[in-house]
Chains A and B, each alone.
Chain A
Amino acid sequence: MLKIEDISFSYDNNETNYNLADINQNIKEGEVILLCGESGCGKTTLTRIINGLIPNFFNGTKQGNVYLKDNLINEIPIYEISKYVGSVFQNPKTQFFNVDTTGEIVFGCENLAMDVDEIKSRLDHVVKDFKIQPLLDKNIFKLSGGEKQKIACASVSAVFPDLFVLDEPSSNLDAQSSWDLEDIIKNWKQSGKTVIIAEHKLFFLNNVVDRVLFLENGRITEKWSIDEFKSINHRDYGLRQINLENLYVNHDGYYSNNQDLMELRNFNFKYGKKQVLDIDGVKIPKNEIIAIIGKNGAGKSTFANCLCGLKRSCKGEIIWGDVHLKRKDLLKKTYMVMQDVNHQLFTESVLDEVLLSMGEENISRAEEILTNLNLIHLKEAHPMALSGGEKQRVAIASAIASGKEILIFDEPTSGLDLKNMMKVSENLIYLQKLGITSFIITHDFELIMDVCSHVLHMEDGKIIDNYKINEDKLKNFFLKN
């Protein structure tokens, strides 16, 4: 099916620094292959070699050959490759060309100039296969992350390719949607398709992958069958856990001495006529690391926005010690580290970013904060030029500088490997020691087990459970039932 022969590649034409080196693989028809390894190990680059984006879109020095069904891939133009290879990417926001779902599903077929009747029958076929009838003719931007990724899979499926290449498809998905993705891959596998998937989150791939390739610095250093892979210690290789049953609560009990931070009563928010948030009464413990869990669309983000005081029409009582807070007070006490952290970095240097948050500029205090967050060596750097994790720390630094008491993180670990997830954990523990209460909206079971001490479980805009960290309850929610 696919034969990779002595592939080496370097983006910056540097012969001493290969992003991929000496890759040799024979992939048989119907196999499901997992590519894993730390960020920057070359797995995304390998997917780009296979789907033709290298050399058609990304330039660099390439050696070696890839054969797709005995045809040399270099000699096939990229639009021709798209008939045989379907690609799904990490970021649902940027892989859609259309705004409406139906238009997107048929987009590939239109490009390949199939006739309208054929397109119609293929559309019907994938709609049935993926059970997405209710999603047709909708605005893609209004769908949840899981639904978006389903549409992405359906769109590449409509071309009927033989090989699917998925680059971190589950980054933005909740647990249930990840399991749905497993079903999609199983479905492909059953119909004899070959699937190559590069991923950090592994838990949903347990029962569908055949072989695992582990990459390190651009080289394949380990090859496992799935059974061998299940028995290795993932942490030794810097990988996420494949079997969530193997995870245990790291910090049992509360960090501090069980005081209440605040109480919310009749906290509610309507969007138009729809009640998106409806919380009768909930007490929130002080100085803990609190996970907010729930399905995509359960109201977690709305809750976070209301907690930050960003929603003007959010009603309810907020009791803080013995005072009642207003929306404006919340705005002063809380800070959200957004999922797209680019939206909250405004200045030209890291130091300015921190100074901007201070009432009165105090350079030595700012430098102290940067030192503690391991950012001091970057203080003159432009925030936009930093890596994702560094940007996140800059946002945290500015929150500390402005004296916020509550920090809310929106999906801080989506798309992160184990090492970077651990760094987020460290930051959270550091914030806890400073006396800050953190809320974390997350689908990342591993992160919750590692660092959280309290859980708010949301569903349909309500908090249906509010508990001290509890392994059984969490597993009940995250594992496949």
Chain B
Amino acid sequence: MGLKLNFNLDPRTKIIILVLISFMVFNEVPLYISGILVLVPFICLFFSNRIKLALSYILIYIFAKYIQIYLLPTATGIIAIFLIMFSYTATRMLPILMMGYYTIQTTKVSEFIASMEKSNIPKEITIPLSVIFRYIPSVYEEIKSITDAMKMRGFGLNAKSLKNPLKLIEFYMIPILVNAIKTADELSAASLTRGLSNPISRTHFVEVKLNKIDYVLLVISFMGLGIYAYYFLGGVLFA
């Protein structure tokens, strides 16, 4: 296709959509109600050149819905438990996870700060939030390396460790927390030496603004949420 779409959302759009989609976790609704909200992350992933991921997301979602509608009524016993677990987690959580992934992957820290300051959000909120943005990729690296360390000591998906699953969580949390504190400390020191505490408002090398595409997606998402809320509240109010 010769069409080259400049698909670059403003960080504000991404965050608003993420919040809107998060409402989906509240209730289970038919597909024609949640459909729009399910499609938004797909659109974002698809047009930001993550086509493979977008397609697998939508396929898994459809598969989970299929299970819910056709298989669950007839399933029994342990199989039913697994099917319920899978299908409900997938249908409720997957859109949020995908949108979150998209937001983290495509937002530069500098873009994020620029757009927040454009909305007059104070530094005291923007800076800690941007540190979270910055920190997430390194948490991922750490989880990988801790998993490796556990494998070398014979933990993982086997009888020895499944006897005590809480221990496993502890094994992950302690190193991550210790490193998080250390990183936070060193990062604050480093950014102080770079003048981050300057009270004069910063300039922004990257330009961010709300484009047509931002508005289109925002309108779509709000419509999706509207339908969803109407169905949900309607069910409560008119029951």
Contacts and interface: CB of A to CB of B under 8 A. Distances in A.
Interface of A: 51-53, 56-58, 77-79, 81-83, 85-87, 89, 91, 93-100, 102-103, 106-116, 119-120, 123, 139, 141, 155-156, 159, 305, 308, 310, 331-332, 334-336, 338, 340, 342-346, 356-357, 384, 398, 402
A99 B133 contact: yes
B182 to A, nearest CB: 7
B193 A78 contact: yes
B178 interface: yes
Contacts of A357: 153
Contacts of B153: 335, 344, 346, 356-357, 398, 402
A103 B190 contact: no
B191 to A, nearest CB: 5
A434 to B, nearest CB: 18
B194 interface: yes
Which of A115, A346, A357 is the most central at the interface, judged by chain B CB atoms within 10 Å of its CB?
A346
Contacts of A331: 151-152
Contact of B152 (A98, A100, A308): A308
Interface string B140-169: 011001101111111000000000000000
B79 interface: no
Interface of B: 108-110, 130-131, 133-134, 137-138, 141-142, 145-146, 148-154, 170-171, 174-175, 178-179, 182-183, 186-206
A106 B133 contact: no
Contacts of A305: 148
Which of B170, B198, B201 is the most central at the interface, judged by chain A CB atoms within 10 Å of its CB?
B198
A343 B142 contact: yes
A310 B190 contact: no
Contacts of A114: 203
Given A107-B110, A119-B203, A338 B197 contact: no
Determine chain B's interface SS by DSSP, over half rule.
helix
A342 B175 contact: yes
A113 B199 CA distance: 10
Contact of B110 (A58, A100, A123, A344): A100
Nearest to B194: A108
A97 B191 contact: yes
B151 A111 contact: no
Contact of B195 (A57, A79, A102): A79
Nearest to A384: B178
B193 A85 contact: yes
Given A57-B188, A57-B189, A338-B149, 6 more contacts: A82-B193, A97-B190, A108-B194, A112-B198, A159-B194, A340-B142
Contact of A141 (B138, B149, B171): B138
Contacts of A139: 137
10 closest residue pairs by CB, A with B: A344-B149, A94-B186, A111-B195, A103-B110, A82-B195, A79-B198, A95-B190, A79-B195, A87-B193, A108-B194
Contacts of A402: 153-154
A113 B149 contact: no
A125 to B, nearest CB: 14
A113 B152 contact: no
Given A99-B108, A308-B152, A141 B186 contact: no
A79 B152 contact: no
Contacts of A78: 192-193, 195, 197
A448 B235 CA distance: 73
Contact of A99 (B134, B174, B196, B205): B134
A343 B175 contact: yes
Nearest to A335: B152
Nearest to A91: B186
A57 B175 CA distance: 24
A99 B187 contact: no
B158 to A, nearest CB: 11
A119 B204 CA distance: 9
Given A77-B197, A343-B146, A344-B149, A97 B189 contact: no
Contact of A111 (B145, B149, B186, B198): B198
B116 to A, nearest CB: 14
28 contacts: A78-B193, A78-B197, A85-B193, A87-B190, A87-B193, A96-B190, A97-B130, A97-B191, A100-B108, A103-B206, A107-B110, A111-B196, A114-B203, A141-B137, A156-B194, A310-B148, A310-B152, A331-B152, A340-B145, A343-B146, A343-B148, A344-B146, A344-B149, A344-B153, A346-B171, A384-B174, A398-B153, A402-B154
